Amino acid sequence: MTAPIVIVGAGLAAYNLAREWRKLDAETELVIVARDAADFYSKPMLSNALASKKTAATLVMKSAAKMAEELKATILANTEVVAINTVARTVTLAAGEVLAYRDLVLALGADPVRLPLLGDGADDVLSVNDLGDYARFSERLDGAKRMVILGGGLIGCEFANDLLAREILPTVIDPAATPLSRLLPPQAGALLAEKLTEAGVEFRCGDSAQRVERVGAGYDVVLDNGVRVAADLVLSAVGLRPRTALADAAGLAVARGIVVAASLQASAPHVYALGDCAEVAGLNLPFVMPIMQQARALAVTLAGTATPVRYPAMPVLVKTPSCPTVVAPPLTGEGEWCIEAVEGGLIARCIAADGSLLGFALLGVATKERQALLAQLPAWLA
Ligand X SMILES: Cc1cc2nc3c(=O)[nH]c(=O)nc-3n(C[C@H](O)[C@H](O)[C@H](O)COP(=O)(O)OP(=O)(O)OC[C@H]3O[C@@H](n4cnc5c(N)ncnc54)[C@H](O)[C@@H]3O)c2cc1C
Per CB under 6 A, 287 contacts ligand X: yes
The span of 58-66, 164-172, 252-260, 315-323 binding ligand X (CB under 6 A) equals 315-323
CB of 79 to ligand X, least distance (A): 6
Residue 177 CB: number of other CB atoms within 10 A?
12
Per CB under 6 A, 265 contacts ligand X: no
The span of 19-27, 141-149, 284-292, 346-354 binding ligand X (CB under 6 A) equals 284-292
DSSP per residue, 211-252: EEEEETTEEEEEETTS-EEEESEEEE-S-EEE--HHHHHTT-
Q: How far apart are the first and last CA of the chain?
A: 38
The span of 104-112, 184-192, 220-228, 361-369 binding ligand X (CB under 6 A) equals 104-112
Per CB under 6 A, 35 contacts ligand X: yes
The span of 161-169, 208-216, 248-256, 314-322 binding ligand X (CB under 6 A) equals 314-322
Of 256, 238, 378, 219, nearest in space to 311 by CA: 378
The full length of the chain comes to 382
**What's the CA dihedral at 308, 313, 318, 322 to 10 degrees?**
-160
Q: Using CA atoms, how far apart are residues 149 and 160, in angstroms rounded to an integer?
A: 7
DSSP 323: S
Single-letter code of the amino acid located at 208 = S
Which residue from 115, 288, 292, 381 is in contact with ligand X, where contact means CB under 6 A?
288
Site mask for ligand X (CB under 6 A), range 136-155, x = bound: -------------------x
Per CB under 6 A, 257 contacts ligand X: no
Per CB under 6 A, 109 contacts ligand X: yes
Beta-strand ranges (E) seen in 70-226 are 74-76, 81-85, 90-93, 98-100, 103-106, 110-112, 146-150, 169-174, 202-205, 209-215, 218-223
Which residue from 5, 6, 7, 47 is in contact with ligand X, where contact means CB under 6 A?
47
Which residue from 3, 22, 28, 36 is in contact with ligand X, where contact means CB under 6 A?
36
The span of 36-44, 63-71, 163-171, 333-341 binding ligand X (CB under 6 A) equals 36-44
For residue 104, CA distances in Å to 108, 145, 234 come to 12, 46, 38
Indicate if the alpha-carbon torsion angle 365, 371, 377, 378 is positive or negative.
positive
For 227, residues 6+ apart whose C-beta sits below 8 A from its C-beta are: 204, 207
Per CB under 6 A, 243 contacts ligand X: yes
Distance of CA 244 to the CA centre of its chain: 15
Per CB under 6 A, 276 contacts ligand X: yes
Name the residue with the smallest CB distance to ligand X. 11
Per CB under 6 A, 273 contacts ligand X: no
Query: Residue 112 or 345: which CB sits closer to ligand X?
Result: 112
The span of 27-35, 52-60, 114-122, 261-269 binding ligand X (CB under 6 A) equals 27-35
Query: Residue 14 or 222: which CB sits closer to ligand X?
Result: 14
Of 91, 78, 105, nearest in space to 14 by CA: 105
CB of 35 to ligand X, least distance (A): 4
Give the residues lining the site for ligand X (CB under 6 A): 8-14, 33-36, 43-44, 46-47, 80-81, 107-109, 128-129, 155, 243, 246, 275-276, 286-289, 291, 316-317, 319
